[in-house]
Structure 1
């Protein structure tokens, strides 16, 4: 692996791992608290219907400022913006230690989610600008593999910490982690804009002008490949987001499982996700990107179908988790490839593209997760299986549109 920037391979690797650490923290901030949510809503005198809000508001917070973060990163550079986002995330986590009201708790969850917006809008483009296509896909898959440990380890970590600590100290731990990530970013992160690269090129800073900025967003929304890719990225992850948000209700509140049993049932689901990321990391340079996506659709669709059929025939946690795990395998293979295809579906600045991509994707995840809760997906295991499978099936149309547009573009290229 050779970075496009004039930095050593070791520093490039450590830079990628530091991005993974910050991303891990932003996901842990939602996942580790989920087993604590029954306790949180009880202490703050709220009902169980507030449990999925902890995740959905966090995701919506990730959308709030992406429209501005991306252009700011294009104007002032990736490095200062990511350092700012890391500090903001740490302060929002620390403030949760003193809350005594569910309204303030939800507000801070929204603010914490802004940290996720910095990850999506700043760190992902920086990574893709620092490495070639094959290496970038590998690094994206590696980062996803590390970061996606958070839904697997998050419930376990949260459950174990709750055995000895109050839930408030979970957020103090996130704040401490943010300090560590900030120091590492300050030491290791290179600037990818305004510097000469190994191929002699130089990515320029882009001034901020309101009308051209709005016109740029408008052009992106008229780009069918970009819109299809963004919609696909949001919809393919919706069954998983629904599971993260509603599994405390389904397993702890409805099925009466312990928090430890709840955490253990996350292992096969996110194990499938990690396996998919390991597979794409191994085969990324062997096949064209559309071929990789088509291959990922086999376990993706099979998992959604298995989830419905198995849960209908034998309503049990194991039936639901079996289908979810197979679906997650396909998701793990497709996710990094879809991001790369969508990010480069437009020639506009990558900060602008990643901002709109993140807004569409996270808005679909946050609003979709809230909609799943509103329509009663948490009423029973079968209700969830059907609702999540329908949500995941909606991704097939934009996926088909993206692959068709990519094939058409390849056909006209000399």
Structure 2
């Protein structure tokens, strides 16, 4: 008997493949509604009433329990089955499973997903952004490849949900990004991937793997050619007419009126007066020094900071009651930071998840160019999901409590209302 119904966009949808693999490995049957039509069924009031965002894969259990987001459903089915290894056999292995799920989703999946969106013209082209995304993706692949040099699986000695997610991301990446040259550079990826997809219960669920020889590169969208309008031939005049002025003749020969090139949009932050504080130097100092103590990054910050050119802000997520798993909240921070990519040259961030599963909050600090946070953070569509409060950490107006908060957020030992720092991310 099926444990529930799974709605999927198409048979080989990556998130759904992970769920179906877990179900197959644990011996759980799933129903697949034949009447479901993507972009139609999931937009109906009835569907949205059950799954608020209209996303698939989505799961509805026989007991009425409803869940969306692929990894959440896969973890639920694995836990419900009591399987001993899919979520990690020990507390330590479970933590490693969460670690690699989070890493795969944020460091690899998000970056390569955005590259693919740029190539498909779903995101306006920006050379700096594309280069950054590719660099971040390559760095993530290098980390995974190095780890796999001495590990058969990513999180433990046996197959876990983390492996299923990573394999699904690699499946898509092999088709457009991980070309022959990258497969040579990262030789453990293909070996690992083929090991995972050929496991019992997994084999046959993934679509046929396409190994691209040369990675796709950006090509501007083709411009639609406009048909030249045929002008009726004028009758031969009986008397010779005066020759048209040269300028008028040239204009008459133009197929289309000339359109001036759009000026490049300049960021108003570039017009701010120069500051003695160098944000890139601070990012290097923070990365290479101990955070606290003599000669540490915090001491460096106080020596160099220029409040005339930069400001410090506390950031708090507004909807903490919606947070569940710590790793999912950490993924949310990673997504927010990815969407701030357009402001990288003006911004540094240190944010974390405080608390435990089902009882957590997101908080942290931003150091940004100028005295107003909005011009820097509004590049992220979800910037209004966070509350911003300016912190006074230097100068005559320095506030001891605000300074303490700032330093703790940088050192990743921030604690709020008894909730301790559980996981964090930096925006550098």
TM superposition score category, shorter chain reference: under 0.3
- Of structures 1 and 2, the one scoring higher in RCO (CA 8 A, sep 6+) is 1
Q: TM-score scaled by structure 1?
A: 0.26
- Largest Rg, 1 or 2: 2
Q: Which has the higher strand share?
A: 2
Q: Which has the higher helix share?
A: 1
